[in-house]
Amino acid sequence: MSHAVRQPITVEVFLAWEERQELRWEFNGFEPVAMTGGTNAHEAIGMRLRTLLDMALLGKRCAVRGPTMKIEVAGRIRYPDAFIFCSAARREQTVISDPVVVFEVLSPSTSHIDRIEKLREYQATASIQRYVILEQDAVAATIYLKQNGIWTVAVITGDALLEMPEVEAAVALSAIYADVELPPAGASQA
């Protein structure tokens, strides 16, 4: 019995293919992966995050985008919930190849990808200085920070300030979660 062996496609082939699709797709370095919808809490956190970042970056050299604009990282194409970049971008540009800070709002279905696969990709991308994973069920963030080529990790919660000196911005973590209904402390999530 013979089996067909699929060959990986290139980023360029993926981008040309995705341009003709109605839905959004990420590229995992081998094949397209369909993007799924999120929850109300996920979207509320993402929207508030982008709004706060936009206000914090107003008049500065960097800008925030997401979740409908792509980034290229380690030969893959991703749609983070938000990202900050500091280079010039053309009006018609659809892919940013040099993000500086990347944000993902954690979902049960994407936890492994966000915590393992995307972490590796983001750490392998020279321009990325900070990767922030925001929890969906608690006011908490895991922050991966590159300093002098070494990655460290920290967790912040509650009223902590999410500082991003590399883009001259900071936002209060609690403000990102304002008006988001969170489960009671200690409640298990299905």
Domains of the chain, start order = 38-176 (3.90.1570.10)
Length of the chain: 190
User: Pick the residue with more confidence: 140 or 31?
Assistant: 140
pLDDT reported for residue 190: 47
Q: Which whole number is the average pLDDT over 46-64?
A: 97
Give the number of other Cβ atoms within 10 Å of residue 77's Cβ: 21
The pTM of the full predicted model, rounded to 2 decimals, is 0.85
Q: What is the pLDDT of residues 101-142, one digit of tens each?
A: 999 999 888 888 899 999 999 999 999 999 999 999 999 999
Most confidently predicted of 25-34, 106-115, 118-127, 175-184: 118-127
Sign of CA dihedral 48, 41, 80, 153: positive
Of 57 and 184, the structure prediction assigns the larger pLDDT to 57
Q: Which of 23-32, 68-77, 142-151, 163-172 has the lowest mean pLDDT?
A: 23-32
Q: Encode pLDDT of 74-99 as tens digits.
A: 999 999 999 999 999 999 999 999 99
How many whole angstroms separate alpha carbon 72 and alpha carbon 87?
A: 14
- Average model confidence (pLDDT) across the chain: 89
Identify the residue with better confidence: 148 or 187: 148
Helix (H) or strand (E) holding 171: strand 169-172
Per the CB < 8 A criterion, the answer to whether 144 and 119 are in contact is yes
Which three-class secondary structure state does DSSP give residue 86? coil
- Cis geometry, peptide bond prior to residue 184 (ω within 30 degrees of 0): no
Cα distance between the two ends of the chain: 42
